[in-house]
Chains A and B, each alone.
Chain A
Amino acid sequence: MAGEASHPGFLLTTMQKGVNWTRTRSMWPATFGLACCAIEMMATGAAHNDLGRFGMEVFRASPRQADLMIVAGRVSQKMAPVLRQIYDQMAEPKWVISMGACASTGGMFNNYALVQGVDQVVPVDIYVPGCPPGPQSLMHGILTLQDKIMAGEIRRSTGVV
């Protein structure tokens, strides 16, 4: 079911499912658009492919107010500590989508300048392939993340729920 090692009982698992459901509704992304993928991320938020139907069209500039970080673009060596700092400032629960080939593995730029995959710096929940991934791919990634949260597969926060 929810995949926990200990079984907290019927009441708590139902509440857990409810909490998971609420967490997937209206996840606010933090603006972390770096390069070309940022343009496709903006296109996903625009009217044609509407992220607003998931309550996600508000991209919060402040990481304190966001719970999803979509790393959209190539992460250079200079940018990596900044990325980590932004991630650390987000409050739990938080998730990371690595959007595009450059964020997932360094993409076509296997060289001195890029961090080869943003999972070297932050823990990643969903990788979205593409160069750049179209809005439909990104939305599929977001919906997969929502499924994973609802199924209880991602739980990093400590505590009861």
Chain B
Amino acid sequence: MSGDTGKDKPAQKPPSPAAPSLPPTEGDTGGRDKASLSASERRRTHDLWVAGTEEPEWVATATDEGAQEILPADIDPAVAGQRGVAVLDDYVSDSTVSPEERQILNLGPQHPATHGVLRLQLEMEGETIRRVKPIIGYLHTGMEKTAETLTYMQGGTNVTRMDYLAPLHNELCFSLAVEQLLDVEIPERAAAIRILMTELNRVSSHLLWIATFGLDIGALSMMLYAWREREAVLAFFEAVTGLRMNHHYIRPGGVAADLPAGWEDEVEEIIEVVRRGLEDYETLLNENPIFVERTHGVGVITPAEARAYGVTGANARAAGIDYDVRKIFPYSGIDQYEFEVVTGSHGDAYDRYEVRMGEMRQSLSIVEQVLETMPPGDYRSEDRKVTPPPRQRIDESMEALIHHFKIFTSGFDVPEGEVYQAVESPRGELGMHLVSKGGPKPWRLHVRAPSFAIVQALPVMLTDLMVADVIATLASVDPVLGDVDR
């Protein structure tokens, strides 16, 4: 296919019968044939080339990220940030280690424990990490650019795939931002449904987090147990929205469809099943000596560092900062439900674990309250400029048909303005900065991703730790690379 992309795509070359070219290494063998290579040179060949496959020449250098990679400490301009001393100077230097004993280890981007395609370059002295440079962009999808080409009704499909573990939160943030500019009233039932769905989404996201956290720490059975509970929540989502993930359910004006009959029983069952599961996990992990050893005092972030880097959510609350968007800037009627904000004090991985377990319990209690107090009424606003009319009205009324047509083809216009809307996603403060110039599509949609801030703060948490602690810390801060790269 021809295209007008700004970059040549790495096309597949036809298999060449000649010997593949070797990557440029020291003592490059040039074009000599394999028989004349020494044993060590042949070993280098086999490191990168397997019989029967061809490696195109560009591959060896194409994964080199050039200026984005970590440079030796004496010439790297951003050493302070990589040592994690930009805010607090707690760097422990050891003058007995000579520069030759330092090595740079490349972690990722394809790695089972980096929670996505995160690439970390670690400069280590033995087992101790000295500098960390995260390289991101391996999942950059151009979603902010795509958002400028989709109408506000379609925008939810794009935004929901950013933080793919908490899609309903992305949709909620987008819808709230649009509704602020539209100045449209959302019925109470719609607001309550939104809270129900997003709090259940928080539960399912934290369940996946505990599964992968346990898996990375070494408690492999956590992976199986937590997914079992998560399936219950996803089955409910499928019943309500039609999809297990990436629902596009919360739209500007309300939600896409009402809750199905019998939803109360399903939700009660979910609450019961998840509560039992949480007890099981705590029995398994809370006093497990291996788990405690691997998480106590590991990956510490102080409140000052969290504030400077913009770390929010469970990671900041574990450090002691009492900031929850649901309490301070409440949205969608969440202030009518009672819940506590769980905080820790040490800022290490164990506190993050405790905070997230507590958050799951609080979310279940919110879901219980919504279950008891769900108001009757409309599931979306009556404003026909924004929400499409019910199906049978289209057969009866010409006006309804025209509204439906207008909404789904050219889209509804949103008044000019600039607004920032934040919600509390499972990762922290998820915000959207929406600039509208009065048309049917956003002029600029910038998403403030909570995982972006935490990836930036990784050097702070990882320096002076051992390599094994890197995995524990990375798992405990719960980054989602779709959020980071957008």
- Listed stretches B220-228, B292-300, B408-416; interface member: B220-228
Contact status A46-B227, CB under 8 Å: yes
A20 at the interface (CB under 8 A from B): no
CB neighbors of A among B25-74 (8 A): 48-56, 58-59, 62-63, 65
CB–CB A88/B138 < 8 A: no
Q: How far apart are the CA atoms of A112 and B143 in the complex, in Å?
A: 10
Q: Out of A42, A85, A112, A131, name the residue touching B59 (CB < 8 Å).
A: A85
B62 contacts across to A, CB distance below 8 A: 80-81, 84
- Give complex CA distance A132, B234 in Å: 13
The reply to whether A82 and B138 contact each other, CB–CB distance below 8 Å, is yes
User: Which residue of A46, A86, A92 has the most chain B CB atoms within 10 A of its CB atom?
Assistant: A46
Chain B residues lying within 8 Å of A152, measured Cβ to Cβ, are none
Report the bound CA distance from A40 to B244 in whole Å.
9
Q: Does B393 contact A (CB under 8 A)?
A: no
Of the stretches A4-12, A113-121, A143-151, the one at the interface is A113-121
Interface footprint category on B: 35 or more
B227 touching A47, Cβ below 8 Å: yes
A108 / chain B contacts, CB cutoff of 8 Å = 146, 157-158
- Check A109/B482 contact, CB under 8 A, given A120-B10, A134-B244: no
| Interchain CB contact under 8 A, A78 and B140 | yes
Encoded as 1 (CB less than 8 Å from any B CB) or 0, chain A from 32 to 73 comes to 111110111011001110000000000101000000000001
- Would you give the 0/1 interface string for B114-126, flagging 1 where the beta carbon is closer than 8 Å to chain A? 0011000000000
Answer whether A116 and B1 are a contact pair too, CB < 8 Å, given A78-B137, A88-B55. Answer: yes
Given that A36-B164, A121-B10, A123-B12 are known contacts, is A85 also in contact with B227, CB under 8 Å in the complex?
no
* B224 engages A85 (CB within 8 Å): no
Residue B9 is within 8 A (CB to CB) of chain A in the complex: yes
Known A-B contacts A79-B117, A111-B146, A121-B12; the reply to A86 vs B139 at CB < 8 A is no
For A131, the chain B residues whose CB sits under 8 A away are 246
Which one, B49, B116, B141, B245, contacts A114 given CB within 8 A?
Answer: B141
Given contacts A113-B141, A114-B141, A120-B12, 13 further A-B contacts (CB under 8 A): A34-B117, A35-B482, A40-B245, A47-B227, A47-B228, A59-B112, A61-B111, A74-B139, A81-B62, A84-B62, A88-B50, A111-B142, A112-B5
Binding site for A on B (CB under 8 A): 1, 3, 5-7, 9-12, 48-56, 58-59, 62-63, 65, 109-112, 116-117, 137-143, 145-146, 157-158, 161, 164-165, 208, 223-224, 227-228, 230-231, 234, 244-246, 481-482, 485
Binding site for B on A (CB under 8 A): 31-36, 38-40, 42-43, 46-48, 59, 61, 73-74, 76-82, 84-92, 108-109, 111-116, 120-123, 131-132, 134, 157-158
Q: 3 closest pairs, A vs B, by CB?
A: A81-B62, A113-B142, A46-B227
